[in-house]
Amino acid sequence: MIPIAEPLLAWYTRHGRHDLPWRQTRDPYPLWLAEIMLQQTRVESVKPYYTRFLQTLPAWRALAAAPQDQVLALWSGLGYYTRARNAQRAAQVVMASFAGHFPDTLEKAVTLPGVGRSTAAAVLASAYGQRQAILDANARRVLIRSHAIDADPKATATQQWLWTLASALTPEDAHGYNQAIQDLGAMICTPRQPRCPDCPLASRCKAHAQGRSHALPVTAHKPPKPQRHTFFLLAADPEGRILLEKRPDSGIWGGLWCLPQAAPDGGELSILCNDTLPPLEDTPAVRQFLQEAWSRRLRLDLQLLALAEEQQHVFTHFQLRFRCAHARVLDSAVADSAATLRWYHPADALTQGLPTPIRRILRNLGGGR
């Protein structure tokens, strides 16, 4: 076991990202919010969302009581929307079960929706001064390289060993140490092209001594991402409004407003791909299928005008290829009171919680931000 705390903290004092907005507080709520937003998302992407979210929903009570549409609108574009839904559920649990305070033990904190061991530990260390070890992606990479661990990082045994290391190496000043190891992983010990000459741990790093920094952590071969295909309906009524459909809370884009799809399957993005309708082709048969399917399901008198060029959006586990069908609504029979269907002017639609590709489509209409 290689002691790393002393040189790491000295480096952090001089070079750490002390100006990050969530490092200006010891209040558990903004600290927790930052940890949730930073899961699987880069710091620079998070900053504007974090600031806007806190300005609108500045405390547990406000988030717990907010309409879900407002929460998702504030999160829209940040991705991984399960985090937003879990964040609101966590705030509701904090209000209902912990008297409006983030739990002060690891055992209680990990019972909150969306809060794992590392997230809970980060908040407890910074908000309550506890000696709690973290193991986020940055910290894990630093430990793997410094100790030349060449096992699969996702294996249970490897995870257990890394937690043992993290717990043993974390000093009493866990708040500063946790931020230091996160910054080292983000700024120096990066996933690709680590800056070993600038690393304060270079003299004691086993991977560096072995010339293997670029080879660790071990990465498993990833098969090509499967592809899914769908059509979105961009239907304009005589007033210039477009129809949006609210997706189920579970599944892809849960709870967000979306353009209607050709054949929603109750939770996941639909796949329109079979022998008679090849994926995303613009043929008379495809157009007829789309017009009939949407007219029947949405109770609209539709005239399909054109199919836009194919686009794509990459998810963690698959790639979505899609085309947008432009249509004119001759008789907008669908009622505004429908729980999952609503007409919006494009500029108003852009204020809602929308998936990134849908926001991109609407922006191209000249609707606004």
Catalytic residues, by residue number, are: 35
DSSP 222: P
Q: Which amino acid is at 55?
A: Q
The CA distance from 269 to 292, in Å, is 19
Q: CA-CA distances (angstroms) from residue 53 to 184, 186, 197, 259, 349?
A: 27, 24, 38, 25, 19
CA dist 146 and 348 (Å) reads 51
Distance, CA of 76 to CA of 65 (rounded, Å): 19
Residues paired with 326 in a beta bridge? 234, 306
Contact of 322 with 230, CB cutoff 8 Å:
yes
Q: Estimate the crossing angle of helix 28-38 against helix 43-56, to 10 degrees.
A: 140
DSSP code, position 367: -
Count the neighbouring beta carbons within 10 Å of the beta carbon of residue 41.
15
Q: Which residues contact 99 (CB under 8 A, 6 or more apart)?
A: none
Q: How far is CA 318 from CA 40, 223, 277, in A?
A: 16, 11, 21
Other CB atoms within a 10 A radius of the CB of residue 154 amount to 10
How far CA 95 is from CA of 55, 104, 105, 159, in Å, comes to: 19, 14, 16, 33
Q: Prior bond to 217 cis, omega within 30? A: yes
